[in-house]
Structure 1
Amino acid sequence: MKQYLLAIMLICSSFYYAAAQQLKVATFNIRMETSADQGNLWKDRATPVANLIRYHDFDIFGTQEGFKNQLDDISERLPGYARYGKGRDDGGDKGEHSAVFYKKDRFTLLRSGDFWLSETPGKPGKGWDAKCCNRICSWVYLKDKKTGKKCYFFSVHFDHEGKVARVESARLMLKMIRDIAKNENTVLVGDFNGDRNSEWYQLLANSGILRDTYRDVKVPYENNGSFNAFGKALERSEVIDHIFITPKGKAIKWGILTDTYKGKFPSDHFPVEALIQF
């Protein structure tokens, strides 16, 4: 009788996990390559960045600020991941990317695309009161080979100067997610250059379309803010890198990963991770 009950429990458990889709997702601003970062040059950070990703074993993660050569370095060190994302300057390889990486052996890429955070999202350009930079969002539509379930994943980097640009970018993100993903399961990650009190964060978090995964977790792992300035801003507690999901999802864990190497930091941002389930 006990063996029979155990068998029934195992069968029920297998059905449950087959029906559910559990994903370890992350957002990681890897910091662009620049000679101004003496002591924290990309050539020294590339391997620690890849090692961090490998160890934490993300299923899908979005990056911000990476130039093509930086993304190539990550791909070379982590051949188990495929990636998608275009350069913000020309829609090709030029400029920083908001690329998405996903495990090749787990996901099939069904669709992908990019749009710019501006009044003309279909072409490269600055939006509203943004002064220095084009801003881009890249997205993928993935099918989980194990469960058959599908989800959209968006990676974005909001402007760091223009307040109007950040507010309007939040509105644009909601519109594009409605238009592209419609009612399907969706994850939005990125560097939003705004903490939980910012107007643009509030627009996203209280939209009814998206919810911050942080809110789902009773005890989040939050010993620091998400921006560290290569150790110069460790006293800051603001979180400006966020992971949002649509209402059918739920976060089981959420945390800011404060990994270091030889007393240094892989990036000027800490990656943020969430274990989610649809």
Structure 2
Amino acid sequence: MGCDAVRIRSSMFGCSLYVLLCSLLSGVVSVPPAGAQDLRVMSFNVRYGTASDGADSWPQRQDLVVQVIRDYGPDLLGTQEMLPFQAEYLQQQLRSGAQRPLKYVYIGWSRDASAGGEQCGLFVSEDRFEVEQSGQFWLSERPEEKFSKSWDSSLPRVCTWARLHDRRDSGRRLLFANTHFDHRGGEARLQSARLLRS
């Protein structure tokens, strides 16, 4: 297996974390200053909620998904294959936690022309961050063209991003980005990684 294949496989699973770390570290690793705030980041492929998954269908696993998110309590959560009704359910359930409600701003748009289509949604802690700006671009040769596909992509793919201000550290701003690479197109995955890196 060549280096490109290893990179593609690695980036499929950790791209949102990679983009976040790149924006935070900018190539410099240092010891955090005294009083630095921990940042809890999570990536979660929730699997689209209309899939015919039998015993693993969304109604059978939705409460487990809520519990996993509650257990980790991320400040930033990047999701893949999220449908709007799933995002609404998660937001509602996480807010209603009796012991520790988790309040998130949800940012996400369909990757295709369907209003109810899959999203690479972001959940951003309302207590921790202020969203200054957000958007989405397509993983294609024409990233600003809605619903565009390139290379050997089987489906339109997107990167959803948000520029954030940390309420706990007035000088700290960061870029949170989340994506989900094509499941079939090897060239599309490689070119998508290059696009994100540029």
Q: Structures share a fold, TM > 0.5?
A: yes
More deviation, 133-142/35-44? 35-44
Structure 1 residue 119: Cα displacement: 1.1
Indicate which of 94, 105, 127 corresponds to 2:116: 94
Q: Distance in 1 between matches of 2:117 and 2:50?
A: 12
Cα shift at 1:62: 0.2
**CA apart distance, 1:27:** 0.6
What whole-Å deviation, never above 9, does each CA across 1:177-198 have from its counterpart, x for those lacking one? Answer: xxxxxxxxxxxxxxxxxxxxxx
Q: How many residues align?
A: 157
Match of 2:80 in 1: 64
Letter in 2 for 1:64: Q
2:49 to 23, 33, 45: 33
Which residue matches 1:54?
A: 70
Q: Secondary structure at the match of 1:141?
A: strand
1:1-278 to structure 2, matched below 5 A, reads 16-17=34-35, 20-79=36-95, 80-90=103-113, 93-122=115-144, 123-131=146-154, 133-148=155-170, 149-175=172-198
Taking the aligned partners of 2:119 and 2:149, their CA distance within structure 1 comes to 15
Residue of structure 2 equivalent to 1:248: none
Shift of 1:35: 4.4
Give 1 or 2: higher helix fraction: 2
AA of the residue aligned to 2:59:
K
Q: How far does residue 116 in structure 1 lie from its aligned partner after superposition?
A: 0.6
Other structure's SS at 1:16 match:
coil
**Paired residue type of 1:103:** S
Q: Quick one: distance in 2 between partners of 1:119 and 1:172?
A: 9
Largest Rg, 1 or 2? 1
Whole-Å Cα distance in 1 between the matches of residues 116 and 49 of structure 2?
A: 13
Gaps of 5+ in 1: 1-14, 176-278
CA RMSD of the aligned region, Å?
A: 1.4
**Alpha-carbon distance in 2 for matches of 1:96, 1:139:** 15
C-alpha contact 1:109 1:140 (8 A) present in aligned 2:
yes
Report % sequence identity.
38
Cα deviation, residue 22, structure 1? 2.1
Q: Deviation string for 1:82-122 (max 9, x for gaps)?
A: 110111013x7331100110111111000101001111111
Alpha carbons 1:89, 1:95 under 8 Å: kept: yes
Whole-Å Cα distance in 2 between the matches of residues 103 and 52 of structure 1? 16
- CA shift, 1:139, in A, is 0.5
- Does structure 2 retain, via aligned residues, the 8 Å contact 1:88–1:94? no
Higher strand share: 1
Cα distance in 2 between the residues matched to 1:23 and 1:41: 31
Q: Runs ≥4 in structure 1, deviation > 2 angstroms?
A: none
Supply the distance in 2 between the matched residues of 1:111 and 1:21 (Cα, whole angstroms).
Answer: 22
Per the normalisation by structure 2, the TM-score is 0.75
Amino acid at match of 2:62: A
